[in-house]
Amino acid sequence: MTPLISIIIPVYNVENYIEKCVTSLLEQTYKNIEIILINDGSSDNSGAICDAIAEKDNRIVVIHQENAGVSAARNTALDIMKGEFVTFVDSDDYVDLQFIECLYNALAENNADISTCGHYRVEFDGSLKKIYHLSDNPEEIICMSGKDSIMNMFYEKICSASSGSKLYKRELFNNLRFPGYIMGEDTFVVYHTFKESTLIAHTNKPLYYYVQHSASVTNSKCNYFKFYDYVRLYDHIINSDGCDRNSEYFKSLANRLIENNFWVYMKLRNCPNMFFTEKKHIEDNIKKYRKYVINNPQAKPRIRMACLLSCCGMEILKKVYDNINR
């Protein structure tokens, strides 16, 4: 008997997407699954669609709760799940029919704690872009320690920092839940589960379809302050890790912190008379950690250049950024 695998899906105002998402899971080649749909206070027909789908298959569990955000929805499901393993799927995405089978086989055959796969980004025009393509061999599986996986993830070489496109042993969540961030809650959980893992199996197959649309949180142009959660996230990671600051591992953390701090800083520039404290904190972070990036050959050239320009002042950096992005 194959082990039960729990699939957790937070649902909020996705009436145009949820049925395709759930159908792709019901048709999996791996059959012993439970699908937990957490309707997080949707104001459209999403909740009714979940109930209707659940009537057709007893592997689906639907919970309706007041809107509390994606982290709270996932945490509700983690508290009640019955599977030996767990994965997360966003309700506006969908997966390959072998998604669960491939991830489970990679994990089981290599005695790993987590398995990961590549994914396609479904662009606005419906075209597909392959992300995290490890090699030309679709059957290749690369096994790494949790620490090495974090390094490669932060250099964007091995897998995404999204909680989706991964299968986890249940026990990794015994003392872990999603934080109350609007942005970056995925990376928080992925970082902590990777850190607790002895071995992670990274598969080369792209099995997860990440759908781009204007209503998604990351594509929203309002409420720029939500992006500051990424600063809070990487402050937490780099201050709680306790690793040697001269190590290659620490350099990978600093690289990711700097990259996200630059990105958030440029977002907050759209609010010129607001968030002075937050902008100052980002500037202090850049000054504190840029030395670990400037001489790091694994860092992206544009990030190393941004660090160098910041030594001449943030105004110089902003002028160069504006000229490049005209």
The DSSP symbol for 247 reads: S
Distance CA 18, CA 1 (A): 29
Helix spans in 27-98 (H): 46-54, 70-80
Q: Worst-scoring range by mean pLDDT, 2-11, 31-40, 134-143, 279-288?
A: 134-143
Distances (CA, A) of 198 to 20, 229, 289, 290: 35, 28, 28, 30
H or E element: which one contains 209? strand 200-211
pLDDT of residue 220: 47
Whether 184 contacts 263, CB under 8 Å:
no
Whole-number pLDDT of residue 323: 78
Average pLDDT in the 287-308 region?
Answer: 95
Strands 5-11 and 33-40: parallel
When pLDDT is cut at 50, 70 and 90, the band that residue 149 belongs to is very high
pLDDT digit string, tens, across residues 229-263: 999 999 999 998 888 888 999 999 999 999 999 99
- The rounded distance, in Å, linking the Cα atoms of 269 and 54 is 45
Separation CA 278–CA 271 (nearest Å)? 11
The pLDDT score that the predictor gives to residue 219 is 47
Grade residue 216 by pLDDT with cuts at 50, 70 and 90: low
Pairing of strands 141-144, 200-211: antiparallel
Q: DSSP per residue over 93-113, as a string?
A: -EE-TTHHHHHHHHHHHTT-S
Q: Which of 1-15, 21-35, 306-320 has the lowest mean pLDDT?
A: 306-320
Strand partners, 131: 119
What kind and span of H or E run contains 201?
strand 200-211
Q: What angle (nearest 5°) sits at the alpha carbon of residue 193, between those of residues 192 and 195?
A: 65
**At what angle are helices 99-109 and 18-26 packed, to 10 degrees?**
50
Asked whether residue 143 carries a pLDDT value surpassing 70, the answer given is: yes
Please give the helix or strand (H or E) that residue 238 lies within, else none: helix 228-240
User: Is residue 133 within 8 Å of 200, Cβ to Cβ?
Assistant: no
User: What residue segments make up the domains of the chain, in order of their start?
Assistant: 5-217, 221-324
Helix 146-154 crosses helix 185-195 at what angle (to 10 degrees)?
Answer: 150
- Topology adopted by domain 5-217: Spore Coat Polysaccharide Biosynthesis Protein SpsA; Chain A (3.90.550)
Cα 109 off chain centre by? 25
Length of the chain: 326
| Average pLDDT score over the chain | 92
The residues pairing with 148 across neighbouring beta strands, listed in sequence order, are none
Furthest C-alpha separation in the chain: 63
Report how far residue 192's alpha carbon sits from residue 65's, in angstroms, rounded to the nearest whole number: 27
What are the b/e assignments for 40-73, b being 16+ CB within 10 Å?
Answer: bbbeeebbebbeebbeeeebbbbeeeeebbbbbb
Q: In b/e form, how buried is each residue of 15-28, taking b as 16+ CB within 10 angstroms?
A: bebbbebbebbeeb
Residues 70-97 have a mean pLDDT of 98
Per-residue pLDDT band for 326 (boundaries 50, 70, 90) equals low
DSSP-assigned letters across all residues of 252-269: HHHHHHHHHHHHHHHHHT
Are 281 and 231 a contacting pair, CB within 8 Å? yes
Tell whether the model's pLDDT for residue 228 goes beyond 60: yes
Q: What is the CA radius of gyration of the chain?
A: 20
Report, as an integer, the average pLDDT of 293-300.
95
